[in-house]
Amino acid sequence: MKVIVVATRKPDASPEDLSPYLGPEADHVLMMIKRDVVREVYSRSDGEGAVVILECDGEDHAKKIIAEFPLAKAGLLTAEFYGAKPYRGIVQHAKQT
């Protein structure tokens, strides 16, 4: 199942707070990409965090995965989780053709 994660850095987290974790965060993301858990990752255009597409067993599993990210472990971000499935209209159309 795909889960879309919208991660937001905490408002009181300064660049100095975040800085020591950025390298380890990037390393962790790359490891999770190699494991086919992180499928896509984007910086948010507002600069407040990231959007991550996970391949996992569901939202509860996604929460456990994100909890292991260095910024999450440090308590510097929050996250929203949205399970995703194929768009119904496309699935229905594909069955008709």
* Alpha carbon of residue 76 to chain centroid: 14
55-71 as b/e, with b when 16 or more CB fall inside 10 Å?
Answer: bbeebeebeebbeebbb
Range of the domain at 76: 2-96
23-73 per-position pLDDT tens digit: 999 999 999 999 999 999 999 999 999 999 999 999 999 999 999 999 999
Q: pLDDT class for 91, splitting at 50, 70, 90?
A: low
Query: What is the number of domains present in the chain?
Result: 1
φ, ψ for residue 26 (rounded to 5)? -60, -40
Taking the whole predicted model, whether its pTM rises above 0.85 is answered as yes
Nearest to 71 by CA among 21, 31, 16: 21
Residue where the block lists tokens 């858990």: 37
> CB-hemisphere CA count at 13 Å for 90?
3
CATH number at residue 47: 3.30.70.1060
